[in-house]
Chain A
């Protein structure tokens, strides 16, 4: 019961924020606005769901912002060369998966700590993206690719939100009911114990990083579609926003904790704050202070609770 309450904390903040924005701004509670908030969150949120899995398993991935740009540029370049929209998109996603696999290999085979391994890949992916595009955005993209990021179902539900929903449901299922999910918690909780109980750390770690890579690739294609260009500088700083979403949602950088629902709420808290500040005309500088403060507060509350136990 009390644990349940702790789990509900991000939720309560979300509801409080939602209600206060509805009161403060007459424009907040409109179909147009809520659908843009959801669309604005989708890209970060899709990556954050993959990051939740990685963080649960005790890892971290700093390369997601760069990989997002890499995938977006790869996919759009293929389209520019005349390949079909669907196959280019799939290959774009695959290029993200390849980076994830690469991260996993560096972590497991060379025993480089995830922070360092993915920091390295962050630089490599960004550099490679700039190299293959010469730093210039990819612009010759077929019109119908725009639907991935800007399309709308039933006149109000943006396509990226539907994708986000599907991925969220799938990942929740994976975490709760599959071996992958249980092993991720086990590895993150105590890698030594997991190893001794016969879990193959190497292959599961590779799978975990690859899933995040593929989701980042997907997010990269959505972002490219939304920007109607393959931007080599896209996703700058996204890794921190993604990690912040996981942490606000109750994930622990020590591993072993985190949920898809929490992460999603975390991502929405950040974009509601942005949206609210924009609607209310609050300075963008104050927005950053607010979000920074909330990250610290979220973790501090968690820590206080933990210390009380000891």
Chain B
């Protein structure tokens, strides 16, 4: 126990000394990338765990190929690691990239780094979620409030304009999903007096948490008719819970975003419909605005990438297919 303090202990200096240092050097040498003169644009998502971000990644790479810029991709593992995201942006600034495309995980916390990039002459385009600053080139995002409104109308239509519904929220402080939640809540309150929002709980952008939150909502509200899930993890959590309780079809789920498992649930009728954004376009347009900026043009200040209602009926239409399953492998295959 006292060994590390004691000074009489023996240690063979030849054999054990090197591993830490040399392993590191070799690894870093092995994976370090070549440097070239082409323009470099960094894309920083909020997280990595959702298919949504992979589609953004694919879109960004497609734009990079088209406009001949190098696209770098790095983000925290999950959406709640705000300080990690700040670190990543700082590191990109220190690396002197030519532009940064950022989805801020908090509308206030990222403001200092966005402004610090602007001060150093690095243009920033914000996508997906807003930030409380004016120091950006363009804002590329879905009309999130409008998406929530669309979900509310669909829900009302499916329920015959009456009954209890629940919202499995994403997390407080995330502006894009809060707007969807508000769009849904306010439309229901204003236009459908016979629909009541009986429960509203946060799944913290985590499938497992969303699942258990939904299970509890189902337990507490036996007569529940519908659930709104404002992002991928909340929709999946809701679908899993409803499936688990054998309530498929009895509790209508209107979800947000798409992923193979959500589309599978839509086919099987567990999910009634999905409000689908266009993450591929977000990645593409985000990089495009900065390329325009670097060429000396003035890109549009606000780019709306649109939402689409996807149901079992329109699922097989080609333009919907393109939206929900763009050929990711084509872009992400060789990373």
Please report A residues at the B interface, Cβ cutoff 8 Å: 2-3, 5-6, 9-10, 12-13, 15-17, 20-21, 24-27, 30, 32-33, 36, 40, 43, 134-137, 139, 146, 150, 185, 188-190, 223, 226-229, 231-234, 236, 250, 252, 254-258, 273-276, 278-286, 288, 290, 293-294, 297-298, 301-302, 304-306, 308-309
Contact = CB atoms under 8 A, between A and B. Distances in A.
Interface stretch (B72-80, B232-240, B276-284, B291-299): B72-80
B10 interface: yes
Contacts, number: 184
8 contacts: A3-B7, A135-B171, A139-B108, A189-B5, A252-B1, A281-B74, A284-B74, A290-B24
Interface in B1-52: 1-13, 16-17, 19-25, 27-29, 31-33, 35, 48
A280 B42 CA distance: 12
Interface in B44-69: 48
Given A9-B17, A27-B96, A227-B106, A16 B22 contact: yes
A192 to B, nearest CB: 11
Which label, helix, strand, loop or mixed, suits the secondary structure of the B interface?
loop
Report which residue of B11, B29, B109 has the largest number of chain A beta carbons within 10 angstroms of its beta carbon.
B11
A231 B28 contact: no
Given A189-B1, A276-B28, 13 more contacts: A2-B9, A5-B17, A13-B24, A36-B91, A36-B94, A40-B90, A137-B109, A190-B2, A228-B109, A256-B2, A282-B28, A283-B74, A294-B20
B83 interface: yes
B28 A20 contact: yes
Contacts of A146: 112
Contacts of B48: 284-285
Given A136-B173, A231-B173, A278-B88, A2 B13 contact: yes
Nearest to A223: B83
Residue picked from B13, B21, B72, most chain A C-beta under 10 Å: B21
B81 interface: yes
Contacts of A10: 20
A257 B173 CA distance: 42
B256 interface: no
A257 B87 contact: no
A304 B11 CA distance: 10
A304 B21 CA distance: 17
A257 B94 contact: no
B118 interface: no
B189 to A, nearest CB: 20
Of A10, A146, A275, most buried by chain B (CB within 10 Å of CB) is A275
Among B33, B77, B86, B173, find the residue whose CB has the most chain A CB atoms closer than 10 A. B173
A120 B23 CA distance: 38
A257 B3 contact: yes
A236 B81 contact: yes
Contact of A135 (B33, B95, B172): B172
Contact of A27 (B1, B7, B28, B95): B95
A9 B74 contact: no
A30 B171 CA distance: 37
A5 B11 contact: yes
Interface in B259-278: none
B90 A20 contact: no
Given A2-B13, A16-B24, A278-B74, A36 B80 contact: no
